[in-house]
Amino acid sequence: MNYENNLTGFPSIDKPWLKYFSEEELSTPVPEKTVYELIYENNCDHFTDTALEYFKKKITYKTMFEKIELTKAALIANRVKKSDNVIMFTSSSPELVYSLFAICRIGAVANMINPIFTHEQIIDRVNETDAEIMFVLDQLFDRIQPILPKLCIKKIVIISAFDEMPAVTKMVASVKAKKHIPYSDKIVRWRTFISEGKNTNKTTDAMYENDMPLVMVNSSGTTNRPKGIVLTNKGINST
C-alpha cells in the first residue's frame, strides 16, 4: 500500500521524519534511563575529559558531576521534589547545566522562560507552574525586577554570568557589566544557594519512567499566548 495515499495530515501520526532514518537507526532501542543516568554512565570512566567549555575554561566531567551533586542537595534543601517545576530564566552557562541535571535527578521539571517575553507573558507562564524557586541570570534581573510582586516565586537564585569564566576574563567582564541586585533572604547568590545544601542528607535519585518530563519550553507566542511544550527524558535521549 502506498505510504503517500495513507497520510492523515497529522505529523504526530504520519511521522514523516522517519523517512530520513535507516532501518538500523529506527530499530535501535532508546535507553530506558534518565538523561542524567545516560550521561553519567557514558562518562563515569572519563572523569578527566572535558565536559563543558565556557569562555575557553575547560570543565571536566568530574567537576561537572560534583557540582550537579551540590546543586541537587541545595534544591532538596529548598524543598524541591519530584514533579515540581523549577523556573529557569537564564542563558547557557555551566550553572544552567548543573541545575538541569540536578533537576533531572530529583524528577522535577525545568521550566524554561524566554527572556524576550513581555512582562505579562512571563507572569502568566511562571504563575501557572506554581513554582517556588527561580534561577535568574544576573544580566537578566532587570527584566523581572518590576514584576517580582506578581510572581508566585518564593526564592530567586542569581546566577552570575562571570563566576565560571577564567580569572582574567571574569575580572574584565564583571566590571563592565556589573548589575545592582538587591540581595535578601528571597534573592540570593548562587554560592549562597549551594551552601544551603551542605547538611542535606543524600537521597536516591528519581527512578526513570516512560514519558517522564524533564524540560518545559514555550512557543514564541507570536500568534497567541505562549504554549508549553514538554520534553521528556526519553525524547531527549532518543535525539
How confident is the model over 183-238, as pLDDT tens digits? 999 999 999 999 999 988 778 899 999 899 999 998 876 666 778 899 999 999 98
Mean pLDDT value across residues 146-165: 94
The gap from C-alpha 35 to its chain's centroid, in whole angstroms, comes to 12
Evaluate whether 190 touches 160 at the Cβ level (below 8 Å): yes
Mean pLDDT value across residues 122-140: 95
CA distance 93 to 103: 16
| HSE-up (13 A, CA, CB side) for residue 189 | 10
Mean pLDDT value across residues 58-82: 97
What pLDDT sits at residue 202? 74
Residue 171 has pLDDT above 90, yes or no: no
What pLDDT sits at residue 225? 76
pLDDT interval class at 5 (50, 70, 90): low
CA distance 99 to 110: 8
Q: For all residues of the chain together, what is the average pLDDT?
A: 91
pLDDT interval class at 124 (50, 70, 90): very high
Going along the chain from its start, the domains and CATH numbers come out as 32-238 (3.40.50.980)
Mean pLDDT value across residues 142-155: 96
pLDDT interval class at 123 (50, 70, 90): very high
What pLDDT sits at residue 224? 66
What pLDDT sits at residue 222? 65
Residue 72 has pLDDT above 70, yes or no: yes
Whether pTM exceeds 0.75: yes
Evaluate whether 102 touches 75 at the Cβ level (below 8 Å): yes
What pLDDT sits at residue 167? 84
Evaluate whether 52 touches 76 at the Cβ level (below 8 Å): no
What pLDDT sits at residue 1? 43
Residue 175 has pLDDT above 70, yes or no: no
Over its C-alpha atoms, the chain yields an Rg (Å, rounded) of 20
Q: Which residue has the higher pLDDT, 164 or 90?
A: 90
**Percentage of the chain with pLDDT > 90?**
70
CA distance 130 to 234: 25
pLDDT interval class at 155 (50, 70, 90): very high
Host H or E run for residue 157: strand 155-159
Mean pLDDT value across residues 162-167: 85
Mean pLDDT value across residues 128-138: 96
